[in-house]
Structures are given as structure tokens and as C-alpha cells.
Amino acid sequence: MKEHHPGTAITPLISVNEIASRIKEIGKTISEGYAETTQDSPLLLVVVLKGAFIFAADLLRSITIPCTIDFVHASSYGSKKTSSGIVAIRHNLAITGRHILIVEDIIDTGLTIQQITAELIAMKPASLGICTLLDKPDTRKYPVDITYTGFTVPNTFIVGYGIDYNELYREIPFLGVLLS
């Protein structure tokens, strides 16, 4: 629990060190996996805002091949802990012919990533991969083909390391379960 969130119970789930070492591994796997394909044009990380911004900053620095970064803004949750079923997507991307890797915080029902993927595929990238920090497979409703997963987590509400509830708790350095 954080001192400036009095009365809020956050149970630690994944520590700062566990996050850091897993991201190093993923960065290495991505760098090896894309080494050949990106010789002519660098890999493009497409980061889903806001939740993935801290993950993306660390992931970018664990990748050792040339890569560029851009952003898409998605909001699906409103102020509740369950998905509203409506995803608003905003971006200004130029991705035609690029090898792109979407960087997401959590894949829950799969709706958000499915909508983003559909929109980006219509722009004809050379390839499209998905890298998510957290996967909640138990709540999947829309099938998703995830390329890289940080951690598989149970169906609980998670905050910290960029991930929010009602815009709060993003600054907590570890991943924890928000109770109540």
C-alpha cells in the first residue's frame, strides 16, 4: 500500500525486479525475432495509451535492434472496473509497409486489441505483432493471437506500473491487485 493512497488496499502481485527481468527477456526475444525482417526498415512499436506508457518506455530500452515508436489512444473502461463494450480509438499513424508491434498493458476480454488490430491491418503494415505486459485469459471473449506476453494473471483488477483505476495508481512502481 502506498502512503498517499490511505485506506486503499493494494496487494502486491508482481515486483519491480520481476517486471524488470521479464522485460529484459522479452526485449531480447523481440530483438532476435525481428533482426532479419527489420534490416531495411526499423521495427515500429505502436503503444496503446495510456496504460502501456511505462511498460513501453522500459521495453523500448530493452530492444537492441533499430526501432521507432508511435502511439494510439484507446479508452474502453469509463469509470468502472468492467469493460463498457465501447472502444474509442484515436491515432495519427503512418504504418503502411512497416513491421509493427502493438504494445498493450492488459488484454482482458480482447475487445480493445481486436478493434485496434482491425484498424491497423486495414492500413496494410508489412507485419503486425502484439506484445502485452499482462494477459487475463480467463475473461477472453474476443480471440486474440498474442505474440509476446509478460505475465499471465488471474481475473483480478490490477493497478500500478502505468495501469490505472479511474486514472489513479499509475505511479505505483509494482503491479498489485486493487481490492474492494
> Which residues are annotated as catalytic?
108
Task: Out of 13, 95, 105, 175, point to the residue binding Mg ion (CB under 5 A).
Answer: 105
Fill in the amino acid letter for 96: T
SS3 content of the chain, % helix, strand, coil (to 5): 25, 30, 45
User: Counting contacts by CB under 6 A, is residue 107 touching ligand IMP?
Assistant: yes
How far apart, in whole angstroms, are the C-alpha atoms of residue 105 and residue 55?
7
User: Counting contacts by CB under 6 A, is residue 72 touching ligand IMP?
Assistant: no
Residue 58 site contact among ligand IMP, Mg ion, none (CB < 5 to 8 Å, cut-off depends on kind): none
| 113, 105 contact by CB (below 8 A) | no
Q: Which is nearer to ligand IMP, 95 or 106 (CB)?
A: 106
Q: Which is nearer to ligand IMP, 58 or 104 (CB)?
A: 104
Residue 76 site contact among ligand IMP, Mg ion, none (CB < 5 to 8 Å, cut-off depends on kind): ligand IMP
How far apart, in whole angstroms, are the C-alpha atoms of residue 30 and residue 11?
31
* Piece of 18-26, 27-35, 116-124, 154-162 that binds ligand IMP (CB under 6 A): 154-162
How far apart, in whole angstroms, are the C-alpha atoms of residue 68 and residue 66?
7
**Using CB under 5 A as the criterion, which residues of the chain lie in contact with Mg ion when the complex forms?**
51, 105
